Structure 1
Amino acid sequence: MKVLCDTREQRPFSFKRFPGTIVERTGLKTGDYSLHGYQDRVAIERKELNDLIQCLMPPNRARFERELCRAQSLECFAVVVEASMDDVRQGRYMSQMRPHSVLQSIAAFSVRYRVPFIWCGSRAGAEYLTFSLLEKFQAEDEKRTGRLEKGTA
């Protein structure tokens, strides 16, 4: 499987624990990760907790909402968070934004843009889930269409 990683991703996943996975750095229009041949259909946005909180506050909020809006055109999009909801509840981040406000913003975005925010608990959990979502998307598409996407196996 060839995973595409956006060139702006500062701490990219290596996917080393997933044999046969090739990672290629490229500019993605939406999200941090996608699949070769599927860039216009699937993307995953990775967020560390502090980055997520910053994206919920001005001036970053408008940019983040534009990304979520663009993602609506994709068949599959998710935000994977390298933290737990309890980390938010306990305020384990560097911001004065109240935990209730953080969670309410995420709930509003989930409904408004029909995008799941998935609490992965850790960086390793987020890498695992990113790989799994991309792998399952590709497998389901191949099952549905009866073809193997060129250059992805």
Structure 2
Amino acid sequence: MLIRIDTREQTPLAFEHCATVRGTIGTFDYAIEGDQDFFAVERKSLPDLIQSLAIQKNWIRELKKIRRVHAVGFPRLFYVVEACREDIELFDYSIFTRGRVGATFIFHQLSELEYNFDVHAIFSGDALGAARDIHRLLKRRSEDLKAQEGES
């Protein structure tokens, strides 16, 4: 399995025992080479996740991305977050000067993604955990593709 990493990833993850290649992915960050138009995984740091959920223009952009991948038929949507769910409670929300952004609001927005848009949020703890979870998801996708080829 060859993992494609989107060229916009500023600090790409390292994967043990798996080769990678840089290239564009229409939506999201990591995919199997050759399958990037049909399945990819989104990686988020905790600040990126919170800003995507809390800032209106980012929220709208996030929903557009989700609608775009639903429209092309992605079977599942995964956000792999380099943090623990508890880290949402500990985040310093003082950077938000407007409104009442806090953990409760972030958990509400996250439940919107999960329930209304069928996004699976996986909290991996850190970059190493994120790399392992992304590899696990892409490996499962690869197995699924191989099984589909065998049915043909």
- What's the TM-score once normalised by structure 2's chain length? 0.87
Letter in 1 for 2:3: V
User: Is 2:109 the counterpart of 1:105?
Assistant: yes
Q: Which residue of 2 is the match for residue 68 of structure 1?
A: 66
Letter in 2 for 1:68: I
Could you list the runs of 5+ residues in structure 2 that have no partner in the other structure? none
Q: Does the residue aligned with 1:135 lie in a helix, a strand or coil?
A: helix
**Following superposition, which runs of at least 4 residues in structure 1 exceed 6 angstroms of deviation?**
none
The CA deviation string for residues 4-46 of structure 1, in whole angstroms up to 9 with x for no partner, is 111111111121x2x2x22111111111001112112211000
Question: Against the structure 1 CA distance between its residues 95 and 103, is the aligned structure 2 distance closer, same or farther, given a 3 Å change threshold?
Answer: farther
Task: Write out per-residue CA displacement over residues 70-119 of structure 1, whole angstroms, 9 at most, x where no aligned residue.
Answer: 22221232000000110002235674420000011010011221110111
**Higher helix residue share:** 2
Aligned with 1:140: secondary structure? helix
Shift of 1:62: 1.1
Q: 2-side partners of 1:4 and 1:22: how far apart?
A: 9
1:8-87 → structure 2 map (5 Å cutoff) = 8-15=8-15, 17=16, 19=17, 21-56=18-53, 57-72=55-70, 73-87=73-87
Alpha carbons of 1:101 and 1:108: their partners in 2 closer, same or farther (altered >3 Å)? same
Aligned to 1:151: none
Q: Which runs of 5+ in 1 are unaligned?
A: 148-153
For 2:33 and 2:19, locate their aligned partners in 1 and report how far apart those are by CA, in whole Å.
10
Is the 2:77–2:118 contact (alpha carbons within 8 Å) kept by the matching residues of 1?
no
Instruction: State how far apart, in whole Å, the 1-side matches of 2:87 and 2:144 are.
Output: 33
Corresponding letter in the other structure for 2:13: F
The amino acid of 1:77's aligned partner reads L
- Per the normalisation by structure 1, the TM-score is 0.87
Q: 1:142: Cα distance to partner?
A: 0.6
- Aligned pair count? 144
What is the alpha-carbon distance in structure 1 between the residues aligned to residue 47 and residue 141 of structure 2? 28
Name the aligned partner's letter for residue 39 of structure 1.
Q
Q: Aligned Cα RMSD in Å?
A: 1.7
Give the drift of 1:59: 2.1
